[in-house]
Structure 1
Amino acid sequence: MKLIVCAYHNVGYRCLEELLKQGAEVRLVFTHEDSPTEEIWFRSVRELAERHGIPCLTTDINEPASVARVRVIAPDLLFSFYYRNMIRPEVLAIPRLGALNLHGSYLPGYRGRVPVNWAVINGETETGATLHHMVAKPDAGDIVDREKVAIEFTDTAFDVFNKVTEAAVTVIARSYPLLAAGTAPRIPMNLAEGSYFGGRRPADGLIDWTKSAVQIYNLVRGVTHPYPGAFTFLEGRKILVWRAWPVEGSAAPGMIVSGNPLLVGTGEGLLEIRSLQAEGEEEVEAARFAAAQPAGKRFANS
């Protein structure tokens, strides 16, 4: 069994690690160069590959030279674990037993980009990890295996991502022996029962104070550390909100009604901001910041 693995991030690291634990013969790894504009808090797939003496490339697998190399290896299976490039059909057709992707949701729900963040932002109570065959359409091929994880109301996206990573390893541990034996199931995916979401940019973290306190809280925990964060503006100054909690009460959207704790009006309920960061300054407890902000000031969209 010859394998080629495309992998990045913690899911890529842990799933490649699990394949190696099972004795898989990984002939080549494709990964990515780390971006200088991104906070790198996850483990290095390239370091793992090099430690095991596996050739590792950061060129796109879809480039002609890469495709030619894949053809020479003629892998039995190709895996994609949080690899960020869509793999073209001509590459997917090369592996004898198929090309499979590990997706960070319980498919067919939350197809597309950053599924963990979207699930938290949308207030879901569960998500998961799914191994499926790759086709031209993203996250649409037959399902091999999947594992659910719970999303607690106190979980941040980082907490959920760690749960999904463990679920991904569980799925690979169960599925690889079946794939190698040619006995793995193939469950057709019903896309009509699912959903699709696109990527998110830092600018998408802007808080809309007309939404409910729970919705804003979900945004905050969905993009808090190590992600770019939810933000608002106070008298033209950008304020990042890192921790918050919804509480009962009412006030005009964005209106500061109390400084200790820092309570802000929303479209429904109040949001208690617990830690924040004014642009260009360090993150602080909200009460310390609010001491200089009298009640009646208002957070705004710009």
Structure 2
Amino acid sequence: MRVVMFGYQTWGHRTLQALLDSEHDVVLVVTHPRSEHAYEKIWSDSVADLADDHGVPVLIRNRPDDEELFTRLKEAEPDIIVANNWRTWIPPRIFNLPRHGTLNVHDSLLPKYAGFSPLIWALINGEPEVGVTAHLMNDELDAGDIVVQRAVPVGPTDTATDLFHKTVDLIAPVTVGALGRIAAGETDFTRQDRSQASFFHKRSAEDIRIDWNWPAEDLQRLVRAQSAPYPAAFTFHRGKRLEVLAAVVSEGRYGGTPGRVFYREGEGVVIVAGADARTGRNHGLAITRVRTEDGEEMPATDYFTTMGGYLTSRPPSR
């Protein structure tokens, strides 16, 4: 089939590479300009460079809504458009242009975790598995019929970086497998159960601020989700920003006020956590490694030389 590819960053790069390695003919690539957004500088393999290396024409767009682009798409005469990590709305006149429509490849197990940063949100929420879905695009975002979907389990110590590497390897088989079904004339695909759908926004600095009212189990997953190269989860100690690089759920149960620097346990320092910490029924978050405001990394036991005081979500007002 003749394929036009819309994509960006490493997800789009892997998709384009899979298409170039397949029996299909990539006739045009559309990608975004480079971005300075913190999350878009991560996993930023260039789709444009890969297309150029293989002699495929490239168009750079923030939004696919201009007449020149539409004309170029019609001239390319694609049988299908394949999209992965395209960051803005694709209008119906484009996604319905090819005879087979548009196949979108998304790094979640749709209908859950449509939208942005699905791996990070899924890890924070304690999902047992994550994956990649190829679905046909329709008028509703990430809502079309599923052609191929594959899942991988989330391990007890997996970080978002681990899950990225697990799922990015699924892109090629999911994409090529879906195109194979479509090229073979199959049309009996899986309708999404929209009662199970969820949609998530882009992550920002506010989303990595530690709230000590969260249960320790949730905070430990937040720390794992914000693993390098993602921005680390952070809190404030004595008015200065402190990044939490590694932590575990404490073995013991600790009562008191959320955020209290309380007790050395094993290789960590336990912080009281949970909105109902006063009951004494909660585990705490045992921080094991931190990064200070001036960029110094160290074991938490070296940083917290004395117990007492509080970690807070925001610096104290002056």
Which of 300, 304, 307 is the aligned partner of 1:286? 300
Q: Tell me the residue number matched to 1:23.
A: 23
Q: Does 1:262 align with 2:241?
A: no
Q: Mind listing any 5+ residue stretches in structure 2 that lack a counterpart?
A: 275-281
Does structure 1 retain, via aligned residues, the 8 Å contact 2:10–2:43? no
Provide, for residues 234-273 of structure 1, a one-character-per-residue CA deviation record: whole Å limited to 9, x for no partner. 1221111121111132143111123562221112211111
Q: Structure 1 residues 184, 285: closer, same or farther in 2, change over 3 A? A: farther
Distance 1:222 1:46, change over 3 A: same
1:237-276 alignment, distance < 5 Å = 237-248=240-251, 249-251=253-255, 252-258=257-263, 261-267=268-274, 268-276=282-290
Distance (Å, rounded) in 2 between the aligned partners of 1:37 and 1:172: 27
Q: What does residue 45 of structure 1 align with?
A: 47
Shift of 1:37: 4.0
Q: In the alignment, residue 87 of structure 1 is paired with which amino acid?
A: I
Asked whether the equivalents of residues 255 and 299 of structure 1 are also in contact (C-alpha less than 8 Å), the reply is yes
What is aligned with 1:4? 4
Quick check: 1:212 aligned with 2:215?
yes
CA distance in 2, matches of 1:10, 1:87: 20
Question: What does 1:124-143 correspond to in 2, within 5 Å?
Answer: 124-143=127-146
Q: SS at 2:229's partner residue? A: coil
Cα distance in 1 for partners of 2:185, 2:47 equals: 27
Q: Which aligned pairs between 1:186-201 and structure 2 lie closer than 5 A?
A: 186-201=189-204
Amino acid at match of 1:242: L
Partner of 2:313 in structure 1? Answer: 301
How far, CA to CA, are the matches of 1:282 and 1:56 in structure 2?
43
Q: How big is the shift at 1:23?
A: 2.8
Match for residue 279 of structure 2?
none
Secondary structure class of the residue paired with 2:150: strand
Change (3 A) 1:275 1:185: farther
Code of the aligned partner of 1:99: T
State how far apart, in whole Å, the 1-side matches of 2:136 and 2:297 are: 43
2:60 aligned residue (41, 47, 58): 58
SS at match of 1:84: coil
Whether the aligned pair in 1 keeps the contact of 2:29 and 2:51 (CA below 8 Å) is yes
SS in 2 for 1:155: coil
Distance 1:277 1:121, change over 3 A: same
1:80 aligned to 2:92? Answer: no
| 8 A contact 1:34–1:40 mirrored in 2 | no
Q: How many correspondences in the alignment?
A: 300
TM-score by length of 1: 0.94
- State the 1:22 CA deviation: 1.0
C-alpha distance after superposition, 1:93-129 (max 9, x if no partner): 2111110100111111112221111100101111211
1:208 Cα deviation (Å)? 1.1
Distance across 1 between alignment mates of 2:43 and 2:179: 28
Q: Give the corresponding residue for 2:180.
A: 177
Q: Which runs of 5+ in 1 are unaligned?
A: none
Over residues 34-88 of structure 1, what are the superposed CA-to-partner deviations in whole Å (9 max), with x where a residue is unaligned?
2234333442212211111111222132223212211221211001111112211
Q: Does the residue aligned with 1:254 lie in a helix, a strand or coil?
A: coil
The TM-score normalised by the length of structure 2 is 0.89
Larger deviation, residues 208-217 vs 172-181: 172-181
User: In structure 2, the residue corresponding to 1:137 is in which secondary structure?
Assistant: coil
Q: Structure 1 segments of 4 or more deviating over 3 A?
A: 39-42
* 8 A Cα contact 1:175 1:184, kept in partner: no
Query: What percentage of aligned pairs have identical amino acids?
Result: 34
CA contact (8 A) 2:247 2:268 kept: no
The whole-number CA distance in structure 1 between the counterparts of 2:298 and 2:31 is 37
SS in 2 for 1:226: coil
Distance in 2, matches of 1:23 and 1:271, equals 51
Secondary structure at the counterpart of residue 170 of structure 2: helix
Tell me the distance in 1 between the aligned counterparts of 2:193 and 2:104: 17
Distance in 2 of aligned mates of 1:56 and 1:241? 41
Stretch of structure 1 that moved more, 57-66 or 111-120: 57-66
RMSD: 1.7
